[in-house]
Chain A
């Protein structure tokens, strides 16, 4: 899975780095000055790199926690996001990361304490409000947990912050660490879900829909709050039937009372990222559909998008109360 290890000189001797290095002692290890020398350089091909990605261990110096985009929210007063990792081990064709980053290599920022300090500081600034922190924005929150152990580190931090909520966003079944510890009331484990044909066609290397539902069930049975993220909705000829089946299957397997939130969103992408993605995957069906640009964003043609969102919203609300529903459009 990981082909090479790059390590910034500054963190070479850090305990966390030494632990990760031990795990990958069979890999070629190369010292670098700054992760950007590898990650940000021009003339890289994301698609080719994705075949043999490297892991870069680095230190983040600023911007640990950032305000979340406007449409991001699942009921909190304030919304922030943070990324202890850049890039994802999965290969979802609709993912904006492949259009945003030049490199498909994974960067893990090993100074976890700096993230924790910033989260604590922001939570204390809004002590009378609920502050949500989203962790799965630039990576999958759980997929590389066996290597990074970030969740293991950050959950005790949230345990002591009553007004702070953590959303873990994932398509992974790496939930052992969560199942082995008491559930936190302020942590939501949110799974991205798509119909089976979309998982198979567009979400390469991810856990199957069945396995994700199984993971959700296990988490619920251990008391964890869960979230369901039907985002992005993908158009195809019989989407109505497939999304109806998906909602029925998911809600039949879960206790609605222990679902924290459900969200729905259409396929949308900044135009610049979309152009990069088309260059990388010119033959991709998803990008061959009828899409249009509006205000610098690419999405399905307006009437189609509206029809899809309305249909799926109506279907969803047959299974759950409206208070838990948070549209992302």
Chain B
């Protein structure tokens, strides 16, 4: 699953439409979903961002190590309005803490560092993006996932020549719709990374079948999970006749141990 986080509904709208996301009912923070994507609209600022992400995580019964993407509008000293940036460094201005999202090789997009501020600014440092959510997004996402599955994309909505006095919904949507491709590409790349991750670390079907068939204590569950991994690495996976005859969890564990003791290790 990919969890998308954005502050404003006008930012979310183009993606809701593009992926045909449906609204979940009775939500404290608006959530839109399909089978692959959840999107939460957080509101502006760090507190709301963290709260909405935690809400999304519990509300949708999300597992750890999903992919997370934050996107939205940002200020920049001299970049063109509508330019997309993939964020490579986030600095929280109030604490000076830095985060460094992983770099993906197959992203064709400008990159920049970003400063998260508590209030809107009109004076920009060169080559930096400004927003009010990214640091909170990053620190919260890292509670739920690894850094390799977390990314941020920002589109420039204001610069020194064109200040954003107040957010104009139509203007924001227009900026996004003008060029949605970088965002769509990032979503595809993140989904692929998540798929690659799951191929390595997803819970084993074999293990799940065993849990359905016999009752294991918590300790036995851990033990048998590792035994299956080892068995798959060095034993003949077609030879499961003895397993079928097991009466209980103890016998299952004993069967795996016996198979492993008899296994030949070849490189």
Contact = CB atoms under 8 A, between A and B. Distances in A.
Interface of A: 3-4, 6, 28, 30-33, 37-38, 41-45, 47-49, 52, 54, 197-198, 200-202, 234-237, 278, 282-285, 287-290
Contacts of A287: 230, 233
Contacts of B179: none
A190 to B, nearest CB: 23
A76 to B, nearest CB: 34
| Interchain residue pairs A-B with the least CB separation, the first 6 | A288-B233, A288-B230, A201-B267, A282-B229, A4-B103, A48-B148
A37 B98 contact: yes
A49 B196 CA distance: 13
A43 B142 contact: yes
B100 A44 contact: no
A255 B267 CA distance: 30
A290 B100 contact: no
Interface string B130-155: 00000000000010011110000000
A281 B69 CA distance: 27
Contacts of A282: 201, 226, 229
Interface of B: 88-89, 98-100, 102-105, 111, 113, 142, 145-148, 193, 196-197, 200-201, 226, 229-234, 260-261, 264-267
A236 B266 contact: yes
A44 B230 contact: no
A28 B88 contact: yes
A287 B231 CA distance: 11
B111 A28 contact: yes
Contacts of A288: 229-231, 233-234, 260, 265
Given A284-B233, A285-B234, A49 B148 contact: yes
A45 B200 CA distance: 12
Nearest to B229: A282
A283 B232 contact: yes
A32 B101 CA distance: 12
Contacts of B200: 47
B267 A43 contact: no
Contacts of A198: 267
Given A3-B105, A4-B103, A45 B233 contact: no
Specify which of B102, B111, B226, B231 lies most central, judged by the most chain A CB atoms within 10 Å of its CB. Answer: B102
Contacts of A54: 103
Given A54-B103, A236-B267, A285-B234, A45 B148 contact: yes
A236 B103 CA distance: 38
27 contacts: A3-B105, A28-B103, A28-B111, A31-B89, A32-B98, A33-B98, A37-B99, A38-B100, A43-B142, A43-B146, A43-B147, A44-B147, A45-B197, A48-B197, A52-B105, A197-B267, A200-B267, A201-B267, A202-B267, A278-B226, A282-B201, A283-B229, A283-B232, A284-B233, A285-B233, A288-B231, A290-B260
Contact of B148 (A30, A38, A44): A44
A283 B99 CA distance: 31
Given A202-B267, A235-B265, A284-B233, A52 B142 contact: no
A32 B200 CA distance: 31
Contacts of A197: 267
Contacts of A236: 265-267
